[in-house]
């Protein structure tokens, strides 16, 4: 294209030159025409040279492009050849694999047929074997299976009892020693008073004629006192004394204070009684608040909600088995703190849980439910941490313990309630508990006799040796202990001892 353009330019230039020469020839002298022709000749020569160079360069470029195209085509041919070879090899491999799979499937089908045939023979032999066994043993298949399971169960239970006994012996060597050390250390570091109270209070009188004044004309004074305080006044033959009876310790305390002041003053009439009862109620409320503040001060929890402290203070007028629950709560808090320190637990959570663990007992007559669950709900209502609420709820097993401190508070509660002199119970309850212990033990199969001894702290069971072996009595002791835990309420712990004795008697004749 460039060559044609140059040629066209040259022709144009030539035409221009001719015309120019003609023009100059007519308008100028002959010299000018000659110069013009020379210039045109030079231009034509240069144009031809340029056209020749361009043509050579174009041919070279065309040759290079052709060579590159041929090289690219050769490369593509070689690549296609390699792909064809690879594809062919894959096809050959697939054909070989397909042939192998067909052979394998054929062999598997032959083996499956052999297995099915063998399985049918085995089923037939098993049926014949079972029929033979049933004929020989005079037992059906279900009966034989039940007998076999019974023997396996008996063997495994014996082995399990042996392993349990071995594990318990190993744990007893270390756990019991460590527990005794912790409990002993905690009790030695804590000195607390023993406070036992009952459901009655006695008011001394200066003279027997005071009873008549307390009763009043046609009993109006004693009715006013009982109506205002909610207690029962027992006026009997006890010289110079009157008995206040009530299961509500707060009401009993209000009545005691009011009646004491009325006896001292000597002026006893309904209006005076109402006024003294109001003053006594205020005094008891103040004592409750002071007791709550004192408990918080002793245990280091001055920031508790006032309603929480009020309930803690009310525990001062609450007893369990004769043990004052206010001092029991403080004692449990200290014991839990000491145990948590030894076991590297959360001392603050343990102490708070110990102080509030019986919070529900302060309102147990007002709210239905176990005192542990009630106390936990009250604690949550007044912003006590959830960890401490779980400690309160779990200390008697109503909820699952979620921390080490919950276990610690449960142990501290048991230590405080089970220490010598901490609690007491009436003769009637004591006899009932002994009878219940023996009744529970006698209710198990194989028990010959059961005796509650050591003031109900231990129950000894004598079993029939022909019905229970040495391994079975381990399981029996555990089952009786669990039944006692689920059925009875008692302070401390009860030891269950199972005794099995085998005697061989023969007579020489």
Two tokens at 465?
A: 């040796």
3-state secondary structure of 277: helix
Helices (H), 302-425: 306-314, 325-342, 347-356, 371-381, 386-394, 404-418
User: DSSP secondary structure string, 403-462?
Assistant: SHHHHHHHHHHHHHHHSTTS----HHHHHHHHHHHHHHHHTSTTEEEEEEETTTTEEEEE
Beta-strand ranges (E) seen in 206-340 are 232-234, 241-245, 319-320, 323-324
Q: What does the pLDDT read at residue 188?
A: 45
List phi, psi (to 5°) of 170.
Answer: -65, -45
Distances (CA, A) of 415 to 177, 230, 335, 422, 433: 16, 35, 8, 10, 20
Mean pLDDT score of the chain? 78
From CA 349, how far away is CA 357, in angstroms rounded? 11
Place of tokens 């702290």: 457
Report residue 172's pLDDT band, with 50, 70 and 90 as the boundaries.
Answer: low
Q: What does the pLDDT read at residue 217?
A: 80
Two tokens at 367?
A: 């709210």
- H or E stretch at 22: helix 2-27
Higher pLDDT, 11 or 425: 11
Assess whether pLDDT exceeds 60 at residue 273: yes
Report whether 323 contacts 417 (CB < 8 A).
Answer: yes
3-state secondary structure of 305: coil
Residue 36 has a CB neighbour count (10 Å cut-off) of 21
Report whether 498 contacts 463 (CB < 8 A).
Answer: yes
Report whether 370 contacts 398 (CB < 8 A).
Answer: yes
Of 66-70, 361-365, 467-471, highest mean pLDDT: 66-70
- Mean of the pLDDT values across residues 239-246? 76
Report residue 196's pLDDT band, with 50, 70 and 90 as the boundaries.
Answer: very low
- Mean of the pLDDT values across residues 67-92? 88
Question: Quick one: which of 202, 213, 186, 290 has its CA closest to 245?
Answer: 202
- Among the listed ranges 62-71, 191-200, 324-333, 351-360, which one has the minimum average pLDDT value? 191-200
Assess whether pLDDT exceeds 70 at residue 36: no
From CA 384, how far away is CA 305, in angstroms rounded? 9
Q: What is the percent of the chain with per-residue pLDDT over 90, rounded to a whole number?
A: 1
Of 40-54, 173-187, 289-303, highest mean pLDDT: 289-303
3-state SS, one letter per residue, for 117-132: HHHHHHHHHHHHHHHH
Q: What does the pLDDT read at residue 44?
A: 79
pLDDT per position as a tens digit, 363-384: 755 567 778 888 888 889 988 8
Q: What does the pLDDT read at residue 193?
A: 47
From CA 452, how far away is CA 443, in angstroms rounded? 14
From CA 238, how far away is CA 303, in angstroms rounded? 48
Q: What does the pLDDT read at residue 194?
A: 44
CATH 1.10.3210 fits 200-418, yes or no: yes
Assess whether pLDDT exceeds 60 at residue 5: yes
pLDDT per position as a tens digit, 211-225: 777 777 878 877 888
pLDDT per position as a tens digit, 408-434: 888 888 887 766 555 555 556 667 778
Assess whether pLDDT exceeds 80 at residue 500: yes
The residue ranges of every structural domain in the chain are 2-128, 200-418, 427-499
Check for a shared fold between 200-418 and 427-499: no
List phi, psi (to 5°) of 464.
Answer: -85, 120
Name the β-bridge partners of 461. Answer: 450, 498
From CA 334, how far away is CA 337, in angstroms rounded? 5
pLDDT per position as a tens digit, 283-298: 888 888 888 888 888 8
CB-hemisphere CA count at 13 Å for 80? 6
Q: How far is CA 413 from the centre of its chain?
A: 22
Q: Looking at the domain covering 427-499, what would its CATH class be? A: alpha beta
- Ramachandran category for residue 140: left, alpha or beta (phi over 0 → left; psi -120 to 50 → alpha): beta
């Amino acid at each position: 294209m460039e060559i044609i353009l140059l040629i066209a330019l040259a022709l144009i230039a030539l035409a221009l030159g001719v015309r120019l020469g003609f023009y100059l020839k007519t308008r100028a002298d002959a010299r000018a025409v000659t110069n013009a022709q020379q210039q045109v000749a030079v231009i034509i020569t240069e144009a031809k040279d340029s056209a020749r160079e361009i043509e050579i360069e174009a041919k070279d470029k065309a040759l290079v492009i052709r060579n590159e195209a041929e090289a690219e085509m050769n490369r593509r041919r070689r690549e296609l050849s390699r792909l064809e070879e690879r594809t062919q090899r894959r096809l050959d491999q697939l054909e070989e694999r397909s042939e192998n799979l067909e052979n394998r499937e054929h062999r598997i089908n032959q083996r499956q047929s052999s297995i099915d045939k063998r399985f049918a023979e085995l089923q037939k032999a098993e049926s014949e074997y079972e029929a033979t066994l049933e004929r020989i043993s005079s037992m059906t298949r279900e009966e034989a299976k039940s007998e076999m399971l019974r023997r396996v169960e008996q063997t495994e239970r014996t082995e399990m009892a042996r392993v349990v006994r071995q594990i318990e012996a190993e744990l007893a060597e270390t756990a019991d020693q460590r527990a005794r050390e912790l409990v002993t250390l905690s009790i030695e570091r804590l000195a607390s008073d023993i406070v036992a109270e009952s459901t009655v209070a006695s008011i001394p009188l200066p003279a027997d004629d005071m009873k008549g004044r307390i009763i009043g004309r046609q009993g109006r004074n004693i009715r006013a006192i009982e109506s205002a305080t909610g207690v029962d006044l027992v006026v009997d033959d006890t010289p110079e004394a009157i008995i206040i009876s009530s299961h509500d310790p707060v009401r009993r305390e209000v009545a005691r204070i009011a009646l004491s002041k009325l006896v001292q003053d000597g002026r006893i009439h309904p209006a005076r009684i109402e006024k003294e009862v109001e003053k006594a109620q205020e005094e008891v409320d103040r004592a409750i608040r002071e007791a709550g503040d004192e408990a918080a001060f002793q245990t280091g929890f001055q920031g508790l909600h006032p309603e929480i402290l009020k309930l803690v203070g009310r525990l001062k007028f609450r007893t369990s088995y004769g043990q004052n629950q206010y001092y029991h709560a403080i004692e449990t808090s200290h014991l839990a703190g000491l145990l948590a320190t030894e076991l590297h637990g959360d001392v603050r959570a343990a102490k708070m849980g110990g102080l509030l663990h019986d919070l529900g007992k302060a309102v147990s007559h007002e709210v239905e439910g176990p005192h542990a669950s009630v106390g936990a709900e009250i604690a949550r209502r007044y912003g006590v941490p959830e960890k401490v609420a779980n400690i309160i709820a779990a200390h008697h097993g109503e909820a699952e313990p979620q921390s080490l401190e919950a276990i610690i508070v449960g142990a501290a509660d048991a230590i405080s309630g089970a220490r010598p002199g901490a609690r007491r119970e009436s003769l009637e309850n004591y006899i009932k508990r002994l009878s219940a212990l023996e009744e529970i033990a006698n209710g198990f199969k194989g028990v010959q006799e059961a005796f509650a001894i050591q003031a109900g702290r231990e129950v000894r069971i004598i079993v029939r040796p022909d019905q229970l072996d040495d391994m079975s009595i381990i399981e029996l002791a555990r089952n009786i202990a669990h039944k006692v835990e689920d059925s009875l309420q008692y302070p401390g712990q009860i030891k269950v001892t199972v005794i099995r004795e085998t005697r061989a008697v023969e007579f020489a004749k």
